[in-house]
């Protein structure tokens, strides 16, 4: 210590280590850290050998971590904290490790090394509070245990001071904080010197850290196939080409794993553990939805277990709506639909969905107000949802009723100016006009089709029957012919099984046949109308039966002029005039022209049916080419 003269400069220098407790301080104190890098500052986990499909994310993170020079004095500007978030098993830790390994290899970026800590934020048995995490980090920085103070704030101040000291000595450190569950768990571990960089990973979007946010998505199919192949070759050597040799089965496995790296690595491990098992066998084993999560498990890791840790962090209301979401069979659902599922108001439903999105249990759509589930997460949510059957049944009823009422209202706007459509209704005030009604159908298109054509266990027959009739006008006007034919086929099956009341089935058959005819699918329309006739006769509704028969006559004339009647349909029509004698005129009425005659006696019926059926042979068409013949045949 220099002499303390009045008005003179006084300074203190501490060398050879770090000093804590009492220090007699002059005006300036300089701390000189030990010159050797502590071995614990090289404790980064080994990067995985199978890593692909993340180049863009790695480049973005490296751009955040790169040291930059700015300012008049050439000082180093602060580097923002980077927060990587995503679904459980999406590869957040691996991305951070891979990026850190590459950053450490850049000359001059992090000469001080790297600090890595796993906070196990979602595991209640391994959860690391920030105070205990700071103790481990300080020890890694070379601070003796006896010099580590008690209390979160004291440890936090010491930790940040040591990081700043390393930075001043040009020994910049990279801090990797893995698996934080909340901003509060990660914040005390963040450096504040403006130079030390940090990467945080979490299943939640930690927007409270003032960090640059990176959302991690699933891998593409090509990247998923590459991960499978690389992981197997790493485990068994380059000679194991089972994935490469059966690319079709490998693609199936990649799709069933839905681009989730954890699932892909487990699938590769399953094959690696059985050297003689072909990829096709694993692909077949993963096909069944109800056992897929059981298959994607190894003794030390499992997809279901990873999802369960996230599920446990939900509040009761969040967990309830999460369990109900798979009831909607479509690829995504609206906030409005979720409101009916949860039996709550719109604001509350949106808050719950937003929290699920922050936890990466659901995915917000490109358009705000729509939400989806990862395929494997959907299986898990459906699994836990079946543990509460009473909630599911009530929620399913509310959701189906919502879709039925909205589609009916939207249909009323679309058919507002049509005069001959079945079941004419006054235009609903639920939609301001036809454009708004069409937009609603467009948004809910996939959900409605999935609900109509889905398996019986997921689609009540009543809902499917009614929705088919209400959705058909939109499908026709929007030129969604394949979907129109699909709901027609479903309705036909429901009719044959009498899965709903004959009256309701008959009316929907009539409504869908009308749209098929207008889309130039007269043969399909006739087939539905014959089913409608049976239904109306069964429920003793002669007026509706007469309407269906009149439509059959109209379509048959059109087919006779410009179409072709299949043999199957011709036989059904011949059977119709035998069993429904009231649709046959009792006597033949002669006309001047046979082609324009309006008589519908048994002979005229047969003549028209036979002539229409002959069109197949006459014009070179077969059974597969008799659908959708707009205008004249070539």
What is residue 218's DSSP assignment?
A: P
Tokens (6 digits) for 41: 């500052």
Q: How far is CA 612 from CA 131, 488, 608, in A?
A: 85, 23, 6
Each residue of 123-133: pLDDT tens digit?
999 999 999 99
Looking at residue 21, its pLDDT comes to: 42
The tally of CA atoms less than 13 A away on the side-chain side of residue 1 is 12
Q: What is the pTM assigned to this prediction?
A: 0.84
CA angle 290, 293, 294 (to 5 degrees): 90
User: Given a cut of 50, is residue 2 above it in pLDDT?
Assistant: no
What integer is the mean pLDDT of 190-202?
93
More confidently predicted of 211 and 29:
211
User: Given a cut of 90, is residue 602 above it in pLDDT?
Assistant: no
Contact yes or no for 88/310 (Cβ under 8 A): yes
CA angle 52, 359, 186 (to 5 degrees): 85
Residue 61 CB partners (closer than 8 Å, separation 6+):
82, 84, 95, 96, 99, 199, 214
Looking at residue 40, its pLDDT comes to: 56
- Provide the pLDDT confidence category of residue 583 given band limits of 50, 70 and 90: confident
Each residue of 355-378: pLDDT tens digit?
999 999 999 998 899 999 999 999
Looking at residue 596, its pLDDT comes to: 52
User: Given a cut of 60, is residue 33 above it in pLDDT?
Assistant: no
Looking at residue 5, its pLDDT comes to: 44
Looking at residue 570, its pLDDT comes to: 82
Looking at residue 348, its pLDDT comes to: 97
User: Given a cut of 50, is residue 394 above it in pLDDT?
Assistant: yes
**Which of 59, 57, 77, 58 lies closest to 67 in space, CA to CA?**
77
CB atoms within 10 A of CB 293: 19
- Provide the pLDDT confidence category of residue 420 given band limits of 50, 70 and 90: confident
CA–CA separation, 586 and 178 (whole Å): 86
What integer is the mean pLDDT of 426-442?
93
Looking at residue 578, its pLDDT comes to: 80
What integer is the mean pLDDT of 488-517?
93
Looking at residue 425, its pLDDT comes to: 84
Looking at residue 557, its pLDDT comes to: 83
Tokens (6 digits) for 555: 């379509």
What integer is the mean pLDDT of 567-587?
81
> Exposed e or buried b for every residue in 486-504, given b needs 16+ CB within 10 A?
bbbebbbebbeeebbebeb
- Provide the pLDDT confidence category of residue 32 given band limits of 50, 70 and 90: low
CA–CA separation, 21 and 25 (whole Å): 12
Tokens (6 digits) for 164: 């700043």
Burial class (CB in 10 A: 0-12, 13-18, 19+), 621: middle
What integer is the mean pLDDT of 108-134?
94
CA–CA separation, 111 and 163 (whole Å): 13
Torsion angle of the four alpha carbons 333, 336, 337, 342, in this order, in degrees rounded to the nearest 10: 120
Each residue of 472-482: pLDDT tens digit?
999 999 999 99
User: Given a cut of 60, is residue 535 above it in pLDDT?
Assistant: yes
What integer is the mean pLDDT of 564-572?
80
More confidently predicted of 590 and 134:
134
**Which of 265, 326, 323, 253 lies closest to 292 in space, CA to CA?**
253
Each residue of 136-148: pLDDT tens digit?
999 999 888 888 9
SS3 287: coil
**Which of 399, 400, 408 lies closest to 429 in space, CA to CA?**
408
Burial class (CB in 10 A: 0-12, 13-18, 19+), 132: middle
Each residue of 65-95: pLDDT tens digit?
998 755 444 444 545 799 999 999 999 999 9
Contact yes or no for 171/37 (Cβ under 8 A): yes
Q: What mean pLDDT value characterizes the chain?
A: 86
Which of 26-40, 338-352, 590-604 shows the lowest mean pLDDT across its residues? 26-40
What integer is the mean pLDDT of 119-123?
95
First-residue to last-residue Cα distance in the chain: 107
Contact yes or no for 535/509 (Cβ under 8 A): yes
Element housing 34 (H / E): none
- Provide the pLDDT confidence category of residue 456 given band limits of 50, 70 and 90: low
Q: How far is CA 420 from CA 215, 510, 536, 551, 598, in A?
A: 52, 12, 19, 11, 21
User: Given a cut of 50, is residue 37 above it in pLDDT?
Assistant: no
What integer is the mean pLDDT of 188-214?
93
Looking at residue 39, its pLDDT comes to: 41
DSSP one-letter string for 310-379:
HHTTS-HHHHHHHHHGGGS-SS-EEHHHHHHHHTS-HHHHHHHHHHHHHTTSSEE-SSTTEEE--HHHHH
What integer is the mean pLDDT of 535-551?
90
Q: How far is CA 211 from CA 54, 157, 187, 404, in A?
A: 20, 20, 10, 45
**Which of 341, 549, 364, 331 lies closest to 446 in space, CA to CA?**
331
**Which of 42, 213, 233 lies closest to 141 in space, CA to CA?**
42
User: Given a cut of 80, is residue 564 above it in pLDDT?
Assistant: no
What integer is the mean pLDDT of 107-125?
93
**Which of 203, 214, 251 lies closest to 89 in space, CA to CA?**
203
């Amino acid at each position: 210590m220099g002499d303390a003269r009045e008005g003179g400069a006084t300074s203190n220098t501490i060398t050879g280590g770090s000093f804590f407790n009492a220090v007699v301080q002059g005006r300036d104190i300089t701390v000189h850290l030990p010159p050797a890098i502590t071995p614990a500052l090289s404790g980064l986990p080994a990067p995985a050998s199978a890593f692909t499909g993340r180049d863009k994310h790695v480049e973005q993170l490296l751009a955040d971590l790169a040291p930059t020079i700015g300012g008049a004095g050439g000082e180093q500007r602060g580097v923002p904290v980077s927060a990587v978030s995503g679904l459980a098993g999406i590869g957040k830790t691996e991305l951070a490790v891979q990026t850190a390994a590459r950053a450490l290899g850049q000359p001059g970026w992090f000469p001080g090394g790297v600090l890595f800590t796993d906070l196990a934020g979602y595991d209640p048995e391994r959860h690391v509070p920030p105070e205990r995490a700071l103790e481990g980090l300080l020890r890694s920085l070379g601070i003796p245990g006896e010099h580590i103070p008690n209390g979160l704030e004291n440890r936090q101040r010491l930790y940040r001071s040591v990081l700043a000291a390393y930075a001043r000595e040009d020994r910049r450190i990279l801090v990797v904080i893995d698996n934080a569950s909340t901003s509060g768990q990660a914040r005390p571990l963040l450096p504040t010197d403006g130079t030390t960089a940090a990467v945080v990973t979490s299943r939640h979007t930690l927007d409270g850290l003032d960090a640059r946010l990176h959302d991690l998505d699933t891998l593409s199919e090509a990247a998923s196939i590459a991960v499978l192949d690389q992981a197997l070759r790493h485990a068994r050597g380059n000679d194991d080409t089972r994935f490469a040799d059966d690319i079709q089965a490998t693609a199936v496995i990649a799709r069933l794993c839905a681009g989730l790296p954890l699932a892909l690595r487990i699938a590769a491990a399953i094959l690696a553990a059985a050297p003689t098992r072909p990829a096709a066998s694993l692909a077949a084993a993963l096909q069944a939805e109800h056992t897929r999560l059981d298959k994607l498990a190894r003794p030390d890791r499992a997809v279901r277990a990873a999802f369960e840790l996230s599920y446990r962090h939900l509040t009761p209301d969040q967990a309830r709506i999460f369990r109900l979401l798979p009831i909607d069979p479509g690829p995504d659902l609206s906030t409005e639909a979720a409101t009916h599922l949860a039996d709550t108001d719109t604001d509350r439903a949106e808050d719950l969905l937003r929290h699920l999105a922050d936890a990466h249990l659901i995915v917000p759509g490109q358009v705000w107000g729509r939400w989806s589930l990862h395929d494997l997460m959907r299986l898990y949510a459906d699994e836990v949802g079946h543990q509460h059957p009473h909630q599911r049944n009530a929620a399913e009823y509310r959701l189906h009723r919502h879709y039925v009422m909205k589609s009916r209202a939207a249909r009323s706007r679309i058919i507002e100016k049509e005069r001959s459509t079945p079941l004419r209704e006054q235009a609903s005030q639920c939609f301001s006009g036809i454009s708004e009604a069409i937009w609603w159908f467009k948004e809910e298109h996939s959900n409605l089709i999935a609900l109509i054509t889905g398996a019986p266990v997921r689609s009540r027959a009543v809902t499917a029957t009614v929705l088919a009739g209400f959705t058909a006008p939109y499908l026709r006007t929007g030129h969604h012919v394949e979907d129109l034919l699909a709901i027609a086929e479903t309705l036909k099956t429901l009719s044959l099984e009498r899965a709903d009341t004959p009256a309701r089935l008959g009316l929907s058959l009539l409504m869908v046949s009308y749209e098929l005819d207008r889309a130039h699918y007269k043969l399909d329309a006739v087939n539905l109308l014959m089913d409608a006739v049976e239904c109306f006769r069964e429920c003793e509704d002669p007026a509706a039966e007469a309407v269906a028969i009149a439509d059959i006559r109209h379509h048959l004339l059109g087919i006779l002029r410009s179409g072709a009647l299949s043999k199957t349909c011709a036989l059904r029509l011949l059977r119709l005039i035998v069993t429904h004698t009231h649709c046959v005129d009792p006597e033949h009425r002669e006309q001047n022209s046979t082609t324009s005659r309006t008589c519908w006696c048994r002979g005229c019926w047969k003549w028209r049916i036979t002539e229409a059926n002959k069109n197949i042979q006459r014009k070179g068409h077969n059974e597969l080419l008799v659908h959708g013949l707009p205008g004249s045949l070539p």
